[in-house]
Amino acid sequence: MTMFPAELRRPLGKGAQVFAQGDAVTSISLVQSGAISLTRCNADGKEINVAFLGAGDFFGEEALFGRPLRDTTAICIGAGTIFVVSPELFGAEVRSDPGLPMRLASNLSLRFDQVTQTVEDLAFANVEARLLMLFDRLANRYGIAHSDGVAVRLRLTHAQIGVFVGSTRETVSGHLASLIRRQRIRLEGPYYVLLYEDSVTSEYAAPRRA
C-alpha cells in the first residue's frame, strides 16, 4: 500500500464523517484500515449507498479532476485509519510511483461496478433479495469465515442497512427478522452471519435456500 507521512494519518471511530456531499474539495484520502461507506442523496433527498471501501482504497478523487464540491458523503462504518492527502502531494506520489495510476484506475473501475450493481439491485430486486445481496457483498469485503457461513465484521444498525438497500429502518427490521427465522442469516453478538449450505473455507458456497 502507498504510504504517506505519518502526520497525514487520521484515526476514525465508527460513525465519523470524513466529508459530506456538497463540501468543498480539498484532499484525496487513502484507507489504511477499517471500512468506509460512500453515500449520495438524489434529487428527492433519498440517501443511497454507492460504495463500500476498505484497506488500499482511494476516495475523494474529485480532487484529481478539479471538481469544486464533493459528490458523496463518506462515513466510517468500521473504525480504522485513513491518510488525508493534498492533491499536490498526491501528484508528487504519482510521479514517484509509476504503478499508482493503475491502482487508482482499478479502484475507480471497481467503484463503478459497485454503483452499477446497486442500481440493478434497487431496480429489479425486492428488499429481502437486496438484503441478501448486501450481506454477500459485505461478506466478500469484510467477512470472517465460519463453519457454516461468513460473519460480516461490522456493527450495523437497521437504519444504516436501510440506507444501503434503499429502504426504511422499519421495513428492514421486519425482513431481517424473517431472514433469521428462515435461517438465511443469524446474529452472532453484534455481527450478522450469512449462512451457507456447506462449510466455508477459502471460497464461498451458494447461499442457503429457504
Per-residue pLDDT of the chain (210 residues; tens, 9 = 90+): 556 899 999 999 999 999 999 999 999 999 999 999 999 998 888 888 889 999 999 999 999 888 999 999 999 999 999 999 999 999 888 888 888 888 888 888 888 888 888 878 777 789 999 999 999 999 988 999 988 899 999 999 999 999 999 899 999 999 999 999 999 999 999 999 999 853 333 343 344 433
| Cα gap 107→102, rounded to integer Å | 8
Q: What is the pLDDT of residue 4?
A: 87
Q: What is the pLDDT of residue 210?
A: 37
| Nearest residue to 204 via CA among 138, 124, 153, 118 | 138
Q: What residues have CB less than 8 Å from 104, skipping those under 6 apart?
A: 58, 61
At 4, the amino acid letter reads F
Task: Tell the residue number behind the cell numbers 444504516, with chain if given.
Answer: 160
Contact 174, 162 (CB under 8 A): no
Domains delineated in the chain = 6-123 (2.60.120.10), 126-195 (1.10.10.10)
Cell numbers that stand for 66 in this block:
478539479
Q: What is the pLDDT of residue 106?
A: 87
Alpha helix locations (H) across the chain?
Answer: 87-96, 100-124, 127-142, 158-165, 169-181
